A = this chain, B = another copy of it.
Amino acid sequence: MERKRARWAGRVLIREVTQDDHDAIWRIIGPVIREGETYAIDRDISREDALAYWTGERQHCFVVKDGGQVLGTYYLRRNHGGGGSHVCNCGYMVLPEARGKGLARKMCEHSLRMAGELGFTAMQFNFVVATNLGAVALWAKLGFDIVGRLPDAFDHPREGLVDALVMSRTL
């Protein structure tokens, strides 16, 4: 049984996370965090803290499934409080073996619809590592503008200090 806010995008199902998904989510976010090339999260963070960061109760979290297997996940939350609370923020991760299938695009498109339904009027990515060219190109295709460039803000494990981008779009 799939839960509320489930949508089919082709064969792919995107639905809200349940407690039962935590193992599957950790199998996705664990390697991405340990690799340390795309997210500014401590590489040695514990499973528990990483899951709290990704699926915490003050945000929405979704998984994307294909053939019954969880292949990707994203969170959606407000980016700031007070006068900034009309802008949301998302993060997306795909299982390393499932990259290149367009799942990040499907998740982002889903998140743009969800954000609108939730009443947000803009979406902002605070920290897109500039060497993550695939992501930068994808967000640009999906209507995001580069609104900031943070010089040398990310210490890439292989490339050293590289810029990070702030990208945003209205909904």
Encode contact with B along A154-171: 1 for CB under 8 Å, 0 otherwise: 111100000010101010
Q: How big is the A interface, by class?
A: 35 or more
What is the total number of copies of this protein in its complex? 2
In the bound complex, do residue B147 and residue A168 qualify as a contact, i.e. CB atoms below 8 Å apart?
A: no
Whether A108 is near chain B, meaning CB under 8 Å from some CB there, is: no
In the bound complex, do residue A82 and residue B148 qualify as a contact, i.e. CB atoms below 8 Å apart?
A: no
In the bound complex, do residue B83 and residue A154 qualify as a contact, i.e. CB atoms below 8 Å apart?
A: yes
B-side contacts of A149, CB under 8 Å:
147-148
User: Among the listed B37, B85, B157, B168, which residue makes an inter-chain contact with A150, where contact means beta carbons less than 8 Å apart?
Assistant: B168
B-side contacts of A129, CB under 8 Å:
83
Cβ of A44 to closest chain B Cβ, rounded Å: 9
Whether A40 is near chain B, meaning CB under 8 Å from some CB there, is: yes
Selected interface stretch from A13-21, A98-106, A110-118, A120-128: A120-128
Whether A68 is near chain B, meaning CB under 8 Å from some CB there, is: no
In the bound complex, do residue A126 and residue B126 qualify as a contact, i.e. CB atoms below 8 Å apart?
A: yes
Whether A7 is near chain B, meaning CB under 8 Å from some CB there, is: no
Cβ of A168 to closest chain B Cβ, rounded Å: 6
User: Among the listed B39, B43, B81, B166, which residue makes an inter-chain contact with A148, where contact means beta carbons less than 8 Å apart?
Assistant: B166
In the bound complex, do residue A40 and residue B82 qualify as a contact, i.e. CB atoms below 8 Å apart?
A: yes
- Using a CB–CB cutoff of 8 Å, the interface residues on chain A facing chain B are 33, 36-37, 39-43, 45, 80-87, 122, 124, 126-127, 129, 147-157, 164, 166, 168, 170
